Amino acid sequence: MGAGVSSDLDAQKGTTNFQLKTGLNDVPESCISSIFIYLDPPEICKLARLNKAFRGASLADFVWETKLPSNYRYLVEKVLGRNPDSLSKKETFARLCTPNRFDGGNKEVWLDKNSGKLCLSVSAKAMKITGIDDRRYWNHIPTEESRFETAAYLQQIWWFEVVGELDFEFPPGSYSVFFRLHLGKPSKRFGRRVCNLDQVHGWNTKPVRFQLSTSTGHQISSECYLYEPGNWVHYHAGDFVIDDSNPTTKIKFSMMQIDCTHTKGGLCVDSIFIYPSEFRQMRFK
């Protein structure tokens, strides 16, 4: 009788010890993957380092498909030049988070690593600039401060106008357009940043007009004086909205100061940025 009771206790103790030894490695990958759907990409990557089960779960296509924008197939084909089915969804996300240039290297698109939201930039070289071919007015100057290694620098002109267009497939949502501008000519001397403000003039006499229009009917116009000489500033040109029914959207953006009663100069035009409107308060780079 006593031996039987002792055997039962030993059996229960063994069962208890077995249960205490279970850990994260014993959680099915399918369960972990189902949890990953609700996490942000950086959180998934951190948890993938825990063990083999978490790493395997982090590779599931259905996890990363929820992090990709709805137009990811369009992006893979247009920007990466690949068949979307030739890449895993995680690899697709990783490649699209890296800034990728297209259309001759004058446009760049990338995904925000935390949200998977689409961001885009267009170089000054992809825009139509009045007088850009006349070196008396404009020059393309090399600078490390540009995403595209060069910026258009205005020395002096009477009629100032910069116009750009973009035909692109955007995921549904609200987007904001910004011009990245700089009063003064930035350069480096003995490894230190310097800025020549000698040619800056005319921007405090009349404001610059920013305009934005889309093939979906959005039309916005605003005016603003240029400010903060020596610093890059993002000037908000306007917002537009994309809904599910828009396969591709044509966007036209411009800035001008065409009052010919005075000259203006000393301005760097680097690029325009298109971000989800919810990012408007972020720190631009």
103 part of a folded domain:
no
Q: What are 191-206's pLDDT values in tens digits?
A: 899 999 999 999 999 9
Q: CATH no. for residue 147?
A: 2.60.120.260
d(CA 198, CA 156): 11
**Which residue range is the domain that position 218 belongs to?**
119-284
Judge whether residue 225 has pLDDT over 70.
yes
CA distance 260 to 277: 35
AA identity, residue 19: Q
Query: What pLDDT digit, counting tens, does each position of 44-65 carry?
Result: 889 888 888 888 888 899 999 9
Sign of CA pseudo-dihedral 103, 105, 106, 107: positive
Kindly state whether residue 104 falls inside one of the protein's structural domains: no
In a domain, 17, yes or no: no
172 neighbors 263 (Cβ within 8 angstroms): no
For residue 56, is it within any domain?
yes
d(CA 138, CA 258): 16
| pTM, to two decimals | 0.85
Structural domains in the chain (count): 2
d(CA 208, CA 117): 30
**Domain's final residue, options 98, 129, 156:** 98
